[in-house]
Amino acid sequence: MNAVLHNDRLLRALLRQPVDVTPIWLMRQAGRYLPEYRAARARAGSFMALCQIPDWACEITLQPLARFPLDAAILFSDILTVPDAMGLGLSFSDGEGPRFARPLRSAADIARLAVPDPEVELRYVLDAVRLIRRELDGCVPLIGFSGSPWTLATYMVEGSSSKDYARIKALLYDQPSVLHCLLDTVARAVTVYLNGQIAAGAQAVMVFDTWGGILAPRAYREFSLAYLAQIVAGLTREAEQRRVPIILFTKGGGAWLEDLAATGCDAVGVDWTVDLGEARRRIGSRVALQGNLDPAVLYAAPERIRAQAAQVLADFGTGPGHIFNLGHGIQPGVDPDRVGALVAAVHELSRSRQPDRGT
Ligand code: 1CP
């Protein structure tokens, strides 16, 4: 594994250290908007094959980096591999979302769950991490990730994507102690899984709390935030003589930025519903901020994309601690050239904004 990192902007910015230009990577930067991704998926036969065969996962991780000068790679995988490894039987059918063959239907189902050993049940992910690090050869850092316990639990209890979250919300209000038992098991599974990714070579980790925003404030703190904090407390913070930054992202969590910052994470992901300047005033002295361009801006013309990127940079203002990203993942219908226009604009526009590094 190459210990020399040629472009360490991402890791510096996550630790609020000065950088020459604002680093940028994009949620879902490898995915359906890229024709080479769609071709690979067709050849591999299924989305799960892309995740489970390290050569495929590595190839797809590197696809966006071959096109755009992004400042980070993110492991190609999915958050739902963890519940799959816990025995729920994950599949993805074309045009539909994920589905579990054995969703959790009772307290007994939940009591039976065990924490998987990442080097056994999720070995294919850790092998992919090792392979990607080798192939990246120190070019840019590799981000590992997991879903939050709450977000994973929504899929495990609902059995698929959901519109109303009826089952998990009923569980939350009817049998909170059963839900706590599930969330604790998943939090322990996520902690050892992320530590496995760090040991295998992930240089930063992000926890996606995609569905935290559907919770009422008290329920968010009790059923999502508490387990995010439990994970942060259990993660390896240093590897290869560097700090391994932790990014937490609750989509729709703008009201709870202070709580996220107080978990002890290094950076907070911000969705596009929050003004980045306001987010910085609230928590920017404690953590770095990642975000927060509206993903739909990528449907607009390149000069509009540039103007909107300039606005996000201006909203953050000068000084360290910003990682440019979208407020959520790239939509499948986006033209890859628009992504190229965004990456170029962020690097170009931010160059003049950085105070002298003094080196
Ligand atoms: O080819 C296909 O049809 C599969 C589409 C796809 C892709 C490209 C899925 C299915 N997952 C992924 C990759 C993926 N998922 C990554 C790769 C790294 C990257 O480039 O960013 C990551 C980080 C995820 C994480 C993920 N999966 C989240 C959290 C982030 C988010 O977008 O909020 C969630 C909620 C999932 C579940 C999932 N997996 C796939 C889909 C379509 C969904 C969402 C289903 C739903 O809306 O409920």
pLDDT digits (tens, 9 = 90+) for 38-79: 999 999 999 999 999 999 999 999 999 999 999 999 999 999
The helix (run of H) or strand (run of E) holding residue 95 is none
| Nearest ligand 1 atom, CA 30 | 20
- Closest to 265 measured CA to CA, from 277, 281, 241, 249: 249
Helix/strand/coil for 20: coil
φ/ψ of residue 62, rounded to 5: -85, -15
User: Is position 155 annotated as part of the catalytic site?
Assistant: yes
The protein residue whose alpha carbon is closest to atom 4 in ligand 1 is 47
User: Is position 78 annotated as part of the catalytic site?
Assistant: yes
Low-confidence ranges of the chain (pLDDT < 70): 1-2, 353-359
The protein residue whose alpha carbon is closest to atom 15 in ligand 1 is 78
Size of the chain in residues: 359
Q: Report the pLDDT value the prediction gives residue 9, as an integer from 0 to 100.
A: 98
How do strand 242-243 and strand 238-239 relate by DSSP bridges?
Answer: antiparallel
Residue 188 Cβ contacting ligand 1 at under 6 Å: no
Ligand 1: distance of its center to the CA of 97 in Å? 9
Residue 41 Cβ contacting ligand 1 at under 6 Å: yes
Which one of 24, 25, 26, 28 would you pick to mutate in the ligand 1 pocket, going by the greatest count of ligand atoms within 8 A of its CB?
28
H helix intervals, the chain: 9-14, 35-44, 47-52, 54-67, 81-83, 107-112, 123-136, 149-158, 166-174, 176-200, 217-220, 226-234, 257-261, 276-283, 302-316, 336-351
Q: Report the pLDDT value the prediction gives residue 304, as an integer from 0 to 100.
A: 98
Q: Report the pLDDT value the prediction gives residue 353, as an integer from 0 to 100.
A: 67
Q: What is the C-alpha to C-alpha distance for residues 337 and 322, in angstroms, rounded to an integer? A: 24
How do strand 98-100 and strand 90-92 relate by DSSP bridges?
Answer: antiparallel
| pTM of the shown model | 0.96
Q: Report the pLDDT value the prediction gives residue 95, as an integer from 0 to 100.
A: 73
Q: Report the pLDDT value the prediction gives residue 355, as an integer from 0 to 100.
A: 60
Q: Report the pLDDT value the prediction gives residue 52, as an integer from 0 to 100.
A: 98
Token pair, residue 206, equals: 């992000």
Residues 6+ apart with CB under 8 A from 305: 297, 298, 338, 341, 342, 345
User: Is position 33 annotated as part of the catalytic site?
Assistant: no
Q: What is the C-alpha to C-alpha distance for residues 135 and 75, in angstroms, rounded to an integer? A: 12
The protein residue whose alpha carbon is closest to atom 28 in ligand 1 is 79
User: Is position 275 annotated as part of the catalytic site?
Assistant: no
Q: For residues 308, 311, 313 and 319, what is the CA-based torsion angle, rounded to 10 degrees?
A: 180
User: Is position 32 annotated as part of the catalytic site?
Assistant: yes
Bridge partners for 99 per DSSP? 91, 160
Residue with structure tokens 């990577």? 25
Q: What is the C-alpha to C-alpha distance for residues 313 and 354, in angstroms, rounded to an integer? A: 11
Q: What is the C-alpha to C-alpha distance for residues 240 and 133, in angstroms, rounded to an integer? A: 13
Catalytic option among 12, 28, 133, 338 = 28
| Nearest ligand 1 atom, CA 64 | 20
- Which one-letter amino acid corresponds to residue 166? A
Q: Report the pLDDT value the prediction gives residue 359, as an integer from 0 to 100.
A: 40
The protein residue whose alpha carbon is closest to atom 11 in ligand 1 is 78
Residue 316 Cβ contacting ligand 1 at under 6 Å: no
Q: What is the C-alpha to C-alpha distance for residues 355 and 21, in angstroms, rounded to an integer? A: 10
How do strand 288-293 and strand 322-326 relate by DSSP bridges?
Answer: parallel
